Amino acid sequence: MRKKLLMALTTALLAAIFFTGNTDKAYAADFYSGTQQHLNVSGFTDASYYTKKAKTVDFTLSTPYPSNRTFKGNLYLQRKSGKKWTTCKKTTFSFSVRVTKSFSLKGCKTGYYRVKATFSGSKLVNTTNSFKINR
């Protein structure tokens, strides 16, 4: 009986993974500002590893507390270079609830990267944990 139950659960789990696609989202690079300067903003990449076939890094910013407030700022895609982080791409953002911005990987080298966010009107700087990009 136990063996059949275990087999059924394993089959159901594998079917769920197969039919729902990539499970990397749970392991994507992310940050959460918490209550720092009352921002309550989180951000995450669409993957934790990018192959040579990848064309973009998609980064989503959101807040769990929608209001009339508009968040504005800059996002930087940065590559680790020795002990420093070098900006490869930069984009601006503006959102009230949620926004996804894309960084083209054209011109970016193989290496470990992070996304850095700065917010207008705030000294707060958020950075994701690092993730690998292969070119």
Phi then psi for residue 21, to 5 deg, are 90, -150
CATH number for the domain spanning 113: value is 2.60.40.1930
Count of CA atoms in the C-beta half-sphere (13 A) of 109: 6
Side chain identity at residue 3, one-letter code:
K
Low-confidence stretches of the chain (pLDDT beneath 70): 3-27, 33-38
Range of the domain at 41: 24-133
- Evaluate whether residue 12 is within a structural domain: no
Dist. CA 31–CA 41, nearest whole Å: 8
Q: Return the DSSP state at 55.
A: -
Contact 48, 130 (CB under 8 A): no
Q: pTM (2 decimals)?
A: 0.77
Using alpha carbons only, give the angle 93, 78, 91 rounded to the nearest 5 degrees. Answer: 20
